[in-house]
Structure 1
Amino acid sequence: MTATQSSALSLDGQICFALYNASHALTARYRELLDPLGVTYPQYLALLVLWESGPVTVSRLGERLHLDSGTLSPLLRRLEKAGLIARNRLPHNERSVEVSLTDAGSDLRRRAELIPAQVCAATGLRLDELKALVTQVTAVADHARASH
């Protein structure tokens, strides 16, 4: 095996491992910050969409989070049980379910507002660097989804 062949299969040279490793480290940091709020990281992501856009259909929420209904439904059930969201069938389309924040879900936003700054600090990056990284990683994900 040549040096080029072995370096191509080096663990530390793999984009997948770098992203996997970063994801685990950041998710652990988020977990520490979210535990006092009583929500998990995936629940936080769903709440971010609702805080940003207001009520959305379950299908649109799944699209935004890149989650299928089998993953999203239990997550929403737990948020509803915690009193943070409400799910209601749309009167003009009984097959569509709209997800909206309850007062408790809206109030939780104020408690979560410091999380992005704390995560930014944990990365060791400046805000402009972090924004550029988010743009790059998003582009990588978009291209990877489109390439198959």
Structure 2
Amino acid sequence: MLYRKPTFNDVESIYDLVNTYANDGVMLARSRNTLYETLRDMIVAEENSEIVGVGGLHIIWNELAEIRTMAVTDKVTRQGIGKKIVEMLMEEAKMLGVKTLFTLTYKPGFFAKIDFKEITKEELPHKVWKECIDCPKFPNCDEIAMMRVL
């Protein structure tokens, strides 16, 4: 398994992977535009020249960042690929000086295994919600908020 920063050539594969889960209602959709804009935030897992996993680290504010766009293709789930991606994003976060990570997820069990704790959405700073206005579920967010102190 090769873990690396994505390139422009990976955007279509990332788009397909993320939106497969979004179509099943277990992840928020991401537009191609958003993926291009956040390409530098991401890490991909590649196997046999195919993108099989992705995750992103999005800086929100001073010492606060979000783990987002987490997806691993069904054919390689439960092999530690998602965990490895999150661990790599956490290392990157530490190098940047991030002290707190959070995620909004429909898969709290995955994040709980890597020491994220469930919190109420009200515990997150208002700055976190600036992109929510564009979400089709706004203002009725049903994702679960989780946090981890680094």
TM over 0.5: no
Normalised TM-score (structure 2):
0.29
Q: TM-score with structure 1 length normalisation? A: 0.29
Query: Of Structure 1 and Structure 2, which has the larger fraction of its residues in strand?
Result: 2
Bigger radius of gyration: 1
Which is helix-richer, 1 or 2? 1
